[in-house]
Amino acid sequence: MKKVLHIIGTRPQIVKLASVINFKNINFQNLIIDSNQHYQKNMQEDLYDDFKISKENNKNFSNDVDAIKELLNIKVCEMNPDLIVIYGDTNTTVAGALTAKENNITSIHVESGLRSYIPNQIEEKNRIFVDSISDYLFCPTLSSVKNLEKENLHGKSFFTGDIMLDIFLETKNYLDQTIVDKKFPEEFYLFTLHRKENLEDKNKLHSIIESLYGFSNLIIPIHHSFKNKLVEYDLLESLPENIKLVEPLVYSDLLLTIKNSKGVITDSGGLQKEAYWFNKPILTLRENTEWTETIENGLNVLVNEFPVNLQDIISTISKTTENRFTTFGNGNAVKNMISKIEEILT
């Protein structure tokens, strides 16, 4: 049986992996390497449990492309896969693409063609580089297909749809049919922050926090990078009383929290989409976003100047009546991916 190696390293990549390896009736063997690029026990292993993924995979610890690649080269020689699948835009993605290239193994980049057009953003640099050296490009949206056409990469690109929509719809269906014993404030917004451009400058981070004062209730699943900066800048103890810090949430609990919220304020790419699919108002604290579909009907608004009254801005956003799933593949991404992978392996 042919072997397909999935290389992951971050929390969102575990979620993406889950939707693929849990697909039934495949004609190849799935292998996993987890670099644990951002390893934290409560952020990684809980997700393995949430999606019933075996923890008996190869775990290495590094955040550096060269170090990850060195480890991957050793493992790839031992595993001898026929195909390597990489996800997203992280350092692990770059290391996986390079490893495939150096070992003459066919590679697939999942989430290809996304562009924020922010040249200095590390994720943007990673996306462009990985798309340039991967053999097959699986595009999550129609706009990502068009981006690759502009870069003359359309010959190896395929619109599969977004695998995150598949897992979103499956999890949402479960939540809709399950009585969940979880209490939330009567009205609250969900807030997350983790990107370097929002954390590295103390004054900017302080201004972002000032911009949250207008909300009556905010729930913040605290990302380790955000928490570390709050401590470093002596801001943790001065957070306003309207903010409730909680531990990172497993995916099903995160969706439940979005579902019960009035809206989402974030700099996360994934959270933008999940809030959009729930038809919740979104403020994205960034200069631009690669998920342009979320902005086109006004449900997602970009904010990148602080301090500002974020409560006033988000309260002006209305829900959309437009179909929010079509341009993301209508939940058929995994089926499309598996079909193409089997075709490639033939």
Do 41 and 76 reside in the same domain of the chain?
A: yes
* The pLDDT of residue 271: 96
Is residue 48 predicted with pLDDT exceeding 80? no
Do 97 and 144 reside in the same domain of the chain?
A: yes
Name the pLDDT band for 9 (thresholds 50, 70, 90): confident
Is residue 233 predicted with pLDDT exceeding 70? yes
Do 234 and 336 reside in the same domain of the chain?
A: no
Do 191 and 260 reside in the same domain of the chain?
A: yes
176-215 pLDDT tens trace: 887 666 778 889 999 999 999 999 999 999 999 999 999 9
Instruction: Give Cβ neighbours of residue 49 (< 8 Å, ≥ 6 apart).
Output: 250
Whether residue 185 is contained in a domain is answered as: yes
* The pLDDT of residue 190: 97
Do 142 and 70 reside in the same domain of the chain?
A: yes
Whether residue 291 is contained in a domain is answered as: yes
Name the pLDDT band for 96 (thresholds 50, 70, 90): very high
Nearest to 327 by CA among 301, 302, 295, 305: 295
Whether residue 167 is contained in a domain is answered as: no
Is residue 304 predicted with pLDDT exceeding 60? yes
* The pLDDT of residue 322: 93
* The pLDDT of residue 52: 54
Whether residue 168 is contained in a domain is answered as: no
Name the pLDDT band for 18 (thresholds 50, 70, 90): confident
Do 179 and 110 reside in the same domain of the chain?
A: no
Is residue 225 predicted with pLDDT exceeding 60? yes
Sign of the Cα pseudo-torsion (61, 64, 66, 69, in order): positive
Instruction: Give Cβ neighbours of residue 109 (< 8 Å, ≥ 6 apart).
Output: 86, 87, 93, 97, 130, 131, 134, 136, 137, 138
Whether residue 141 is contained in a domain is answered as: yes
Name the pLDDT band for 323 (thresholds 50, 70, 90): very high
What distance lies between CA 92 and its chain's CA centroid?
Answer: 14
Whether residue 39 is contained in a domain is answered as: yes
Whether residue 76 is contained in a domain is answered as: yes
Region of poorest pLDDT, from 13-27, 144-158, 218-232, 274-288: 13-27
Amino acid symbol at 161: G
Is residue 248 predicted with pLDDT exceeding 60? yes
Q: Tell me the residue range of the domain where 120 lies.
A: 3-162+329-345
Do 44 and 157 reside in the same domain of the chain?
A: yes
Provide the number of structural domains found in the chain.
2
Do 120 and 263 reside in the same domain of the chain?
A: no
Do 87 and 107 reside in the same domain of the chain?
A: yes
Nearest to 88 by CA among 147, 164, 21, 148: 164
* The pLDDT of residue 59: 55
* The pLDDT of residue 37: 73
The CATH number of the domain where 79 resides is what? 3.40.50.2000
Is residue 39 predicted with pLDDT exceeding 60? no
- % of the chain with per-residue pLDDT over 90: 76
Do 224 and 291 reside in the same domain of the chain?
A: yes
333-344 pLDDT tens trace: 999 999 999 999
Region of poorest pLDDT, from 11-15, 129-133, 166-170, 319-323: 11-15
Omega prior to 119 cis, within 30 of 0: no
Whether residue 217 is contained in a domain is answered as: yes
DSSP states of 54-96 as a string? -S-SEE-----HHHHHHHHHHHHHHH--SEEEEETTSHHHHHH
* The pLDDT of residue 19: 85
Do 195 and 339 reside in the same domain of the chain?
A: no
Is residue 47 predicted with pLDDT exceeding 80? no
* The pLDDT of residue 108: 98
Do 239 and 102 reside in the same domain of the chain?
A: no
Q: Which helix (H) or strand (E) holds 4?
A: strand 3-8
Name the pLDDT band for 10 (thresholds 50, 70, 90): confident
Between 276 and 175, where is the model more confident? 276
